[in-house]
A and B are shown apart, each in its own frame.
Chain A
Amino acid sequence: MNLANRRYIISGIIVFFGIIFTVRLFSLQVSSDHWKAKAAELTEERVLIYPSRGLIYDREGELLVANRAIYDLMAVPRKVQPFDTVAFSQLLKMDIHDLEDALNKAKKYSRYKASVIRKQIDPEDFARIAEQLHKYPGFYGQARTVRSYRRGVGAHVLGDYAEAGPSDIQKYPYYQSGDYIGKGGVERTYEEDLRGRKGMRYVLVDVRNNVQESLSEGRFDTSAVQGADLTLTLDADLQAYAEKLMQNKLGSVVAIEPATGEILSLVSSPTFDPNLLVGGKRGTNYKALQQDSLKPLYNRAIQGQYRPGSIFKMVQSLIALQSEAISPATRIPCNRGIIGCHGSHSYDDLKGAIIHSCNPYFHQVMKRMVEPGKNSSRFEDAHAGLDNWNQRIRRFGFGTNLNTDIPNVKTGNVPDAAYYDAIYGEKRWAYSTIYSLSIGEGELLINPLQMANLAAIIANRGWYMPPHVIQSIGTDGKPLAFRQPQFTGVDPEHFEVVVNAMQKVVEQTGGTARRARIEGVEVCGKTGTVQNDPLPDHSVFIAFAPKDDPKIAVSVYVEYSGYGGTWAAPIASLLIEKYLNDSIADPSKEQRILEAEFRGI
């Protein structure tokens, strides 16, 4: 072989490797985006700009919910140098194994990006940690915003603001791990208004994770939009007073301004200080509340579903008048053979029947509506009659969430024909099967908000605004949905007899709600007692006042307290008096309530 030809072999080898390099360059740079993504992951970082969350005020402009700072301890594993883990865990008041676990998890996530080591350190604790932090390179504190509740009242209305869980993050792409979200009450309903909009800065970081410059001169950056402040319809003083009256009792209080549907106070008792669920102690406190047998986290005012008892007789009266099943003059004998009664009366007209809460009267009233005898089969008659009745009842908001802005309302139960068909079978039931509905018992379930709304309907003589807690969102005023009256289909004139009866219930000597009287105020009310064998009865009272220009409508439900007039009525009365007169004329009345205690079993 001619040695000069070896030139071509050598040149060939060189060109061969040149081609290999070219192919390799092509596969790295052009044929896939893998390394582009990898480089972006390393060098680009999105810096979130969190707007401050909107504040929440009560109807008088008193600040209820403010923001305060709290700290997360972060670590960038690459910058962390060997340190005394024992001393550090003591400084953090954190279990050494938890600390090591957190660090390992951080390392696994990313060596050069920050991970949370310990969440929610209160400012006082963080100040102590910060003094020592220079000894532990790679660790730093990141301020976060949490809520601060100035009055410590209205926990169930305000809701919770806490870290978004995996399901929230999956459902709403806006949130990412570590973000906070409104978790109930107003915080949840108005989350999008309160949170504003996160801003995003796209930056380039160096290998030490220091921000170096904006990506593409900030072309993709968005600025943060501040969250809107909310003004609620709640009256903080009234709310605090109602919570105080309900102390050591189970139940609820709801007060509504009838003309507007504005919720003045909404109490579920036992309640808790919402500040318990903020900061470092949140976890422990939440667990304790969750395990409490009295269920303080449970919002009885909207989730408690109770049989309404006698207060339902007024609804029966109203729809019976409207459907002309009776007139105010209709008298019905108190025939205690079918259904029990109490008190000395025997042949009441409507007004008397309401005042005396005459059970046989309303048994007959409902029968006239549900089983009017239009059909020869009483089964078919009741089937059609009940559905007709159901439609009218629903217009009072029963069986619905009232379109309120408090989330997670339990709608209660207003049975219709299909409901009983499912239980007894078609044509296997008639009015005689379901007559307990007539006096607000049986399968009928209503929540306390709906009860208060009933008081508002009667106060308004036939209509209601969807009850709500929002007064205005930022500068936008009240959402339109809460300014549209809902009509029950019962004409105003039919209310006269009911309203007069309610006034008598409170004011007439021997009326069931004498304890609800207020000097100089015409209070209209109706008691109810819901049997609860073998435990003590639940006590119910709904009321509104003043009679001719109603300013407040109330429902009070006290579990296991016995007769409705004894406990529920005075609580409602005190609330009304406080709201209308701003003071209590008879302190002993207040004292009696504050000292009462009902815990059920």
Chain B
Amino acid sequence: MNATRRQDIRRNIDWVTIGLYAVLVLVGWTAIYSANYDPAQSEIFKFNADHGRQIIWIGVCAFIALILLNTEGEFFIRFSVISYALVLILLVLVLLIGKKVGGARSWFGVGSFGIQPSEFAKTTATLMLAWYVAQAGSRFKALKTRLTAALIIAFPAGLILLQPDAGTVLVFAGLVFALYREGLSGNILLFGFGAIILAVVAILTGASTLDYPLLGEQSGIFALLLGLILLGGLLIFGVRGFTLPRYRPKNYRFVLAVLIASLGFSYAVNYGVESVLKPHQRERIYVLFGMNQNPDADYNIRHAKAAIGSGGWTGKGYLNGPMTRYDFVPEQHTDFIFCTIGEEWGFFGSFFVVALFVVLILRIIALAERQRSQFSRVYGYGVASILFMHLLINVGMVLGIAPVIGIPLPFFSYGGSSLMGFTILIMIMLRLDAERFSVFR
């Protein structure tokens, strides 16, 4: 590699993203420091405390970032398949010999540090997906290719589901955005949203009991099913009234298909929640919809909301949040780290952090869009999707608008694997982006 080329690379690295990354990591560290703050032992470089260990991880990540930024982009492309396979093996191994932490078998214990292969699976699956879509090129329109792409996502996701780690599986589902950008039908997204809304209504109605004229006391789900049938009937009349006769059969079929699918889906969701889920899982969902009477079940989320909600406009000041400092918030330095921001920095601080994430994700989409290579673009969208899903699930959870699903907030949550995973994810993108002028694929 000659000197001018290296200079080109350095000039072409997107310093905006590096800056956003650095700010997020630093703010994240201050939040961890605050969550563990003990006035009696306030040294920063206290390596037997979480905030001290996180400094080591940040150092390690800086080193990894340097290496990745100085690695040829070509390497990542070549490495895609191998790394994907390697991580799949690790995911199988972790199920067999992993350490069980908090009910999930997701860790390899290495001394006092642990490694979570699922954090790296996100990167390798994205690389693999990018590689596959790029080499498929125009064949991506074929159903078989699309199914293969779906399988690339489903394999690691399935293994992770066995751990079980539902949050990470949802993150994998986010890779649909990358496929959508490459030409997957938009209906997938629409159906996705429709399904979410239907599921919410099914859960809400299913949990209540109504008195029906003929059936007597029954689950509220029947009201939903009846409502759907009624709506379907109205639509069919609508079709008869407002469309030309020759389009009618097609529209009838469509309405009927959607109706049957909706009925089946609603009933399945209801059955799944009421009969398949274990009581504690059902409780989590009920808590989300404010339907739970058990004070223990929504304890975590109530305390999280109290921590954030008590922040006001400007917060209580750094290191001054009693809710987060005095252990009212569960897992306050990992999954619930956002509470520290909410309590100590208030609305302004919370908005700032959410905005930083949104800007970072939009920036990465912008980077993806300026790529000449499809590999880089798919990868870029994958990175954006993964960050977005983490933000959506984690912040949604602490704000009480998504169910309690354990998933880290990128750069903020304490933990080496998570920070390393996101660092690798982003730094590979930056290196690919830096080479965007010199690579034609």
Contacts and interface: CB of A to CB of B under 8 A. Distances in A.
B306 interface: yes
A3 B308 contact: no
Q: Which 9 A-B pairs have the closest CB atoms?
A: A35-B309, A39-B310, A206-B326, A43-B322, A18-B358, A28-B309, A39-B306, A38-B306, A207-B327
Contacts of A17: 388, 391-392
B365 interface: yes
A14 B323 contact: no
A208 interface: yes
Contact of A14 (B182, B186, B388, B401): B388
Given A14-B361, A18-B355, A29-B346, A39 B326 contact: no
B392 A25 contact: no
Interface string B337-348: 000001100110
A10 B181 contact: yes
Nearest to A203: B322
Contact of B327 (A28, A39, A208): A208
A43 B346 contact: no
A24 B308 CA distance: 11
20 contacts: A3-B181, A7-B181, A9-B180, A11-B365, A14-B358, A15-B358, A17-B391, A18-B358, A20-B401, A21-B396, A25-B308, A25-B399, A29-B346, A30-B347, A39-B309, A42-B306, A43-B326, A206-B327, A206-B328, A212-B325
A394 interface: no
A134 interface: no
A25 B369 contact: no
A21 B399 contact: yes
A287 interface: no
B421 interface: no
A7 B369 contact: yes
Interface of A is mostly: helix
A17 B177 CA distance: 15
A22 interface: yes
A28 B305 contact: yes
Interface in B347-397: 347, 350-351, 354-355, 357-358, 361-362, 365, 369, 381, 384, 388, 391-392, 395-396
Contacts of A213: 39
Interface in B279-324: 295, 302-303, 305-313, 322-323
A501 B99 CA distance: 107
Contacts of B342: 25, 28-29
Given A18-B355, A207-B326, A6 B362 contact: no
Given A22-B351, A29-B346, A204-B326, A35 B306 contact: yes
A286 interface: no
Contact of B322 (A1, A28, A212): A212
Main DSSP-derived SS at the B contact region: helix
Interface string B381-420: 1001000100110011001010000000000000000000
Contacts of A44: 322
Classify chain A: how many residues form its interface, as a range: 35 or more
A40 B357 CA distance: 30
For B322, B327, B361, the residue with the greatest tally of chain A CB atoms inside 10 Å of its CB is B322
Interface in A37-68: 38-40, 42-44
Contacts of A6: 180-181, 186
Contacts of B325: 212
A21 B312 CA distance: 15
B19 interface: no
A347 to B, nearest CB: 91
B272 interface: no
A26 to B, nearest CB: 6
A36 B312 contact: yes
Contacts of A39: 306-307, 309-310, 322-323, 328, 343
A40 B391 CA distance: 28
B350 to A, nearest CB: 5
A589 interface: no
A524 to B, nearest CB: 74
A422 B23 CA distance: 90
B177 A10 contact: yes
B183 interface: yes
A42 B299 CA distance: 12
Q: Which of B186, B350, B355, B357 has the most CB of A within 10 A?
A: B350
B354 A25 contact: yes
B22 to A, nearest CB: 21
A243 B189 CA distance: 94
Most buried by B among A6, A13, A35, A40: A35
Nearest to B307: A39
B394 to A, nearest CB: 11
Nearest to A17: B392
Contact of A42 (B39, B182, B323, B347): B323
Interface of A: 1, 3-4, 6-7, 9-11, 13-15, 17-18, 20-22, 24-26, 28-30, 32, 34-36, 38-40, 42-44, 111, 204-208, 212-213
B129 to A, nearest CB: 16
B212 to A, nearest CB: 35
A352 B308 CA distance: 92
B327 A21 contact: no
A112 to B, nearest CB: 9
Nearest to B396: A21
Contacts of A204: 322, 326
Most buried by B among A3, A14, A36, A40: A14
A79 to B, nearest CB: 14
Nearest to B326: A206
A14 B363 CA distance: 12
Nearest to B388: A14
A15 B358 CA distance: 7
Contacts of A30: 312-313, 347
Nearest to A24: B399
Contacts of B358: 14-15, 18
A35 B308 contact: yes
Nearest to A206: B326
Contacts of B183: 3
Nearest to B322: A43
A18 B362 CA distance: 11
Contacts of A206: 326-328
A41 to B, nearest CB: 8
Contacts of A28: 305, 308-309, 342, 399
A10 B381 contact: yes
A103 to B, nearest CB: 15
Given A25-B308, A30-B347, A38 B302 contact: yes
A29 B309 contact: yes
Given A7-B369, A9-B180, A43-B322, 13 more contacts: A6-B181, A9-B189, A15-B358, A24-B399, A25-B308, A26-B347, A29-B311, A29-B347, A29-B350, A39-B306, A43-B323, A206-B326, A207-B327
A24 B326 CA distance: 25
A80 to B, nearest CB: 14
A35 B305 CA distance: 7
Interface in B162-213: 177, 180-183, 186, 189
Nearest to B357: A18
A18 B354 contact: yes
Contacts of A34: 309
A28 to B, nearest CB: 4
A292 B346 CA distance: 65
Interface core residue of B39, B181, B310, B396 (most chain A CB under 10 Å): B310
B308 to A, nearest CB: 6
B328 A10 contact: no
Nearest to A15: B358
Nearest to A37: B310
Given A43-B323, A206-B327, A3 B182 contact: yes
Nearest to B362: A11
B310 A35 contact: yes
Given A39-B323, A111-B295, A10 B180 contact: yes
A43 B328 contact: yes
A43 B326 CA distance: 8
